[in-house]
Amino acid sequence: MANSLIILLVIGLPWAGALVVWLVGDRRPGWQHRLAVLFSAAAAVVATVLLFGATDRPVLTIPLGPVFGDMTFIPDGLAALLTAIAAIIGCLAVIFSMDYMRGEQQLGRYYALVLFFIGAMIGLVLSGSLLQMFFFWEITALCSYALISFNNDDPKAVAGGIKALVVTTLGGVGLLIGALVIVGYTGSYQIADFLAQAHTLPADVLALIAFGFLLAAAAKSAQFPFQTWLPGAMEAPSPISALIHAATMVNAGVYLLFRFYPAFAAVPNWTAAVTLVGLASVLLAGLMALAAHDLKRALAFSTISQLGYMVYAIGAGGLFASQFHLLSHAVFKALLFLAAGAVIHAAGTRDMRLMGGLGQKMPLVRAVFVIGALALAGVPILNGFWSKELVLEAGLVSDTPWVIGAILGAGLTALYTARMIGLVFHGQPRSELPAHDAPPAMRFSLVVLAAGALTTWLLVGPLSALFARTLSAVYGIHALTLLEMIEEVLATPATWLVLLLVALGFAAWQQRSWLAGLAKALAPIAWVASHDFGFEWLNRQIVRVTMGTAEVTRITQTGVLGWNVVGIIGGLIVVLALLVLVWGA
Amino acid sequence: MTDTALQIIVIGVLGLVGVGLYGLLAVRNLIKVIVALQIAVKGVLLGLVAAGMASGQPNLGESLAVTVIVADTIVAVVGLALAVQVRRHVGTLDIKALSSLQR
Amino acid sequence: MEAWLAILLIGAVLCAIMAIRSARLLAAAIWLAGVSALVSLVLYLLGAQIIAVIELSVGAGLVTVLFVFAINIAGEEAMDLRGLVPEPLAVVLVGVAAIMLGWMVLPALGVIPPLAESPFSELLWQDRGLDILVQIVLIFAGVIGVLGLIGEAPRAVPAHPPGEAELEAGSESLKEIEA
């Protein structure tokens, strides 16, 4: 059964590993690789054990005194699932790194941050207290920043990291404001207390909290209109991309929306806003993926688009569907990023226009990439198909016209997926690239994930039973067996429509020479999409204004300690004088 | 504790914090900056304990004082480590020369 | 007891002034140890024995050792002692702030009898549990700091005061460290 030791281990093992790997020092890279794999594998095993011991009661409580409430860790079904995803996919990314990072400098920093990141994500999902959740939330932001700019002599990497940090911290402010208001009104830090008392809060206050949390979730999960940080995060080493896109980070936003859904569902327009944020992300990011030339950028846009489906599902009330798609996505997207990493590692470029015909040289990578890509496109019987159908079904049940957009998005997904496979692995080589198949550690991670992409949908029965057992009281989730799911999916007409669209998407790529005229007509859209729909421009303007203001106020920052202290003492005198004036009057 | 004793201590606290702040304004050597910071914090430490006693909660004041001592020691340690590294890499401890914000 | 308190505190403030004014770093560190020792005596007189002992061993002992150690590695540096802020401004500012505070606080002071309170150890370990956790994190940061202090092999330090060009190069390398 779940007990406090398991909780301590599942967070403590990665963090202890981070410390040990860092202390071993960069002079012994072999040990660093081995220890990192050892600790992350141990965490993955413990996380698997935790899945069987899920409960909706706090199993570890650390008292922090009367002022700050207690630290509580609650491994309910949702938390246990996300813990398992973070630990297991994280472990596979670490194993992949053994080959990918071989011979790189500063492995200690790399592995320490990766393990710290995994532990923080696990802590975040297990948190039962708002204060604690905020801490872990910000630790994940910090780790993602540090890992995205891991190659810190590359200005692009540093800029990407800072962008991620600024955007996600902005979202963190939304979380902080919401959490502070909750504590102010309910007097408790416990999430469970808030969910139970949410209906007693004044409507406008609840709306403030709800939209603050939506801001936080959209920034963290790179949803519209905060999607711009995720493509910038592509400067990170590929295993890091897999980690951020599949195992940790972006899942946190979807998790947050799920966790607080029962409290916010009644807030006017909140579910509509969530639905629209998700849908806008699905469609915009899908178009951008179609226009991207960089393999990893295309994958990043597809992540935004798929996260959009999860957010959309939550807006439509399909809570379980969103988490089921999260699981599928975590598996196939980690697979895609790691396979893309193997391609980039071998070819030395990320530009898809320079690739082509790599399939013959790296058959295994092509095979697993295609499996992942077909899962992404939602081709039966891969895991992405089932979970995406569940999401769309939730959209149909919610009875809003937006589901049409989501269905169109599925066709778009198929089109950009086909384009990716075609450009990278098929056709004639467009330049001489050194390609070789993946080395053994990479191959291990890839094969495990490919097997996952083929099979995780079979877990729907136990998983939904787990959710129903631990979450039905507050979230009202019912168990769904495998047969029921298959029946439901096949009986929905939307499924066949989606399959038709997916087929059309693939066919459109096959017959793209026939559609050249259409493509030409759509060129302006492609141009706008390849310029991120102007969001990059908007970002630059914001940065420009901020920097301009900073230049003006720079005069107050002399950089001389003495003058800073003068400012502090002067401030003290002003405050005292104000007190005297107020008291004296 | 009597009211007079409390007043003496508050004057002493003001003296120590004042000297510490004056030190931050008057010194240029990075290590001396840390010395000045330490002096100010000693004053604050005394003030916390005295405030705890004067308000009838001596144990609360003392438990906060423990935190202050820990934080203060660590500030000294990290500050000194920084000073040593700065001296190694830059060759000076003069905070004027170290300022990189100036143009 | 008041007289003792007054004497000890005057001594502490004098030590503090000497620590700021002394030209040699080593002497400043010793004067600082004096401040710490006198403050811990005051704490002892007040009845806060535990804090007094911690302050004496950590503040006067450990920190002084670290100072001496760091000064030995970094070396004394002949330096123009004038501050970066005009001396009169510094004195006036600090004086004004201290006098205003004293003028506002001193007349309002009054000791109230002890309230019912949990014992020290319980208060420290349970009621202020978050403090303890934060302290653990801080100590961890301190350990990293010490590793930084002694970890790297010492490099040759220029014997003469650095010229303008070297300072320029120095601030460049500082930026690199930050990056």
- Give the pLDDT confidence score for residue C168 in this predicted structure: 42
Last residue within a domain, chosen from A476, A493, A525:
A525
The structure tokens listed for C56 are: 């004496």
DSSP A201: S
Residues A428 and A545 in one domain: no
Chain C residues in contact with B77 by the CB 8 A cut-off are 66, 142, 145-146, 149
Query: Is the residue at A431 inside a domain?
Result: yes
- Give the pLDDT confidence score for residue A248 in this predicted structure: 82
Which residues, including other chains, have CB under 8 Å from residue A428's CB and lie 6 or more apart? A356, A357
Residues A358 and A415 in one domain: yes
CA dist C141 and C105 (Å) reads: 36
CA dist A563 and A581 (Å) reads: 26
Chain C residues in contact with B98 by the CB 8 A cut-off are 171, 174
C-beta atoms of B73 and C63 within 8 A: yes
C-beta atoms of A558 and B25 within 8 A: no
Query: Is the residue at A151 inside a domain?
Result: no
The answer to whether residue B41 scores a pLDDT higher than 60 is yes
Distances (CA, A) of A451 to A213, A405, A463: 35, 31, 18
Identify the residue with better confidence: C168 or A343: A343
Residues A503 and A579 in one domain: no
Give the count of beta carbons closer than 10 Å to the beta carbon of residue A546.
11
C-beta atoms of A561 and B33 within 8 A: yes
The structure tokens listed for A554 are: 């720079």
B101 touches chain C (CB under 8 A): no
Residues A429 and A557 in one domain: no
Instruction: Please give the angle made by the CA atoms of A251, A252 and A256, to the nearest 5 degrees.
Output: 120
Q: What are phi and psi of A321, to 5 degrees?
A: -60, -40
Domain of residue A562, residue span = 540-584
Residues A375 and A349 in one domain: yes
Q: Which residue has the tokens 């030190």?
A: B23
- Give the pLDDT confidence score for residue C171 in this predicted structure: 42
Query: Is the residue at A143 inside a domain?
Result: no
Q: What is the dihedral of CA A10, A12, A17, A18, to 10 degrees?
A: 110
Query: Is the residue at A316 inside a domain?
Result: yes
Residues A466 and A511 in one domain: yes
Asked if A234 and A244 count as a contact pair (C-beta separation under 8 A), the reply is: no
Look up the pTM and report it: 0.80
Give the number of B-C residue pairs with CB atoms closer than 8 Å.
Answer: 298
CB-count burial class (<10 Å; 0-12, 13-18, 19+) for C113: exposed
Residues A515 and A563 in one domain: no
Band (pLDDT 50/70/90 cuts) for residue C38 is very high
C-beta atoms of A559 and B101 within 8 A: yes
C-beta atoms of A558 and B102 within 8 A: yes
B51 touches chain C (CB under 8 A): no
Band (pLDDT 50/70/90 cuts) for residue C78 is low
Query: Is the residue at A447 inside a domain?
Result: yes
The 10 Å CB-count burial string (b at 16+, else e) for C115-143 is eeeeebeebbeebbbbbbeebeebeeebe
- Give the pLDDT confidence score for residue C133 in this predicted structure: 81
Last residue within a domain, chosen from A483, A502, A525:
A525
Residues A323 and A468 in one domain: yes
Q: Could you give the 3-state DSSP secondary structure of residue A60?
A: strand
- Give the pLDDT confidence score for residue B36 in this predicted structure: 92
Domain tally, chain A: 2
Domains defined for chain B, CATH in brackets:
3-98 (1.10.287.3510)
Which chain B residue's Cα is nearest to A564? B25
C86 touches chain B (CB under 8 A): no
Distances (CA, A) of A18 to A110, A237, A464: 9, 18, 33
Residues A556 and A472 in one domain: no
pLDDT, one tens digit per residue, over C79-91 is 656 677 888 888 8
CA dist A158 and A140 (Å) reads: 17
CA dist A321 and A310 (Å) reads: 8
- Give the pLDDT confidence score for residue A60 in this predicted structure: 85
C-beta atoms of B29 and C79 within 8 A: yes
Residue (of A250, A333, A324, A254) closest to A296 by Cα position: A333
Query: Is the residue at A9 inside a domain?
Result: no
- Characterize the bridge pairing of strands A70-73 and A60-63: antiparallel
- Give the pLDDT confidence score for residue C179 in this predicted structure: 39
Residues A489 and A569 in one domain: no
Q: What are phi and psi of A127, to 5 degrees?
A: -65, 135
- Give the pLDDT confidence score for residue C158 in this predicted structure: 43
Residues A324 and A472 in one domain: yes
pLDDT under 50 in chain A at which residues? 1
Chain A residues in contact with C128 by the CB 8 A cut-off are 65
Q: Could you give the 3-state DSSP secondary structure of residue C160?
A: coil
Query: Is the residue at A371 inside a domain?
Result: yes
Residues A514 and A427 in one domain: yes
* Region of residue B91 (left: phi > 0; alpha: psi -120 to 50; beta: else): left
Q: What is the dihedral of CA A584, B3, B6, B7, to 10 degrees?
A: 50
Query: Is the residue at A457 inside a domain?
Result: yes
C-beta atoms of C131 and B67 within 8 A: yes
Handedness of CA A447, A452, A453, A454 (dihedral sign): positive
The answer to whether residue C35 scores a pLDDT higher than 80 is yes
